[in-house]
Amino acid sequence: MANGLVERFNGVLKNMLRRTAFNNPKSWDKHIAPLLFAYRETPQASTGFSPFELVFSHKVKGPLDILKDLWTGEANGEVRSTYEYVINMRERLRDAVDLANEHLLQAKSR
């Protein structure tokens, strides 16, 4: 009750879930992740930034943004398949873990 921002988010989420449950009474729970993604990518009136942008310091490229860029020819860079993205992310995470372990070993040896 003391945090107005949290209460406002709870109200927005409640309305989103209510509408989704009304429109999709048997599968409303499958729409939670897309609803939260939509909320996180939408700029807030009070800050002018989306929650995603405030956390990660850049705008998220949602599926509709990617499709729009492809259709309008504004897509810069390569367009990867989901498989390529996952493989690339695994390699980057493995490299990050290796780097972190290397730093830990260096810190312990000092």
pTM: 0.57
Confidence of residue 58 (pLDDT cuts 50, 70, 90): confident
Dihedral sign of CA atoms 35, 36, 41, 43 in order: positive
Q: Give the tens place of pLDDT for each residue, 13-26.
A: 999 999 999 999 99
**pLDDT band at residue 109 under the 50/70/90 scheme:** confident
Both tokens assigned to 66: 């990617």
pLDDT score for 8: 85
Residues 15-46: b if buried by 16+ CB within 10 A, e if exposed: ebeeebeeeeeeebeebeeebeeebbbeebee
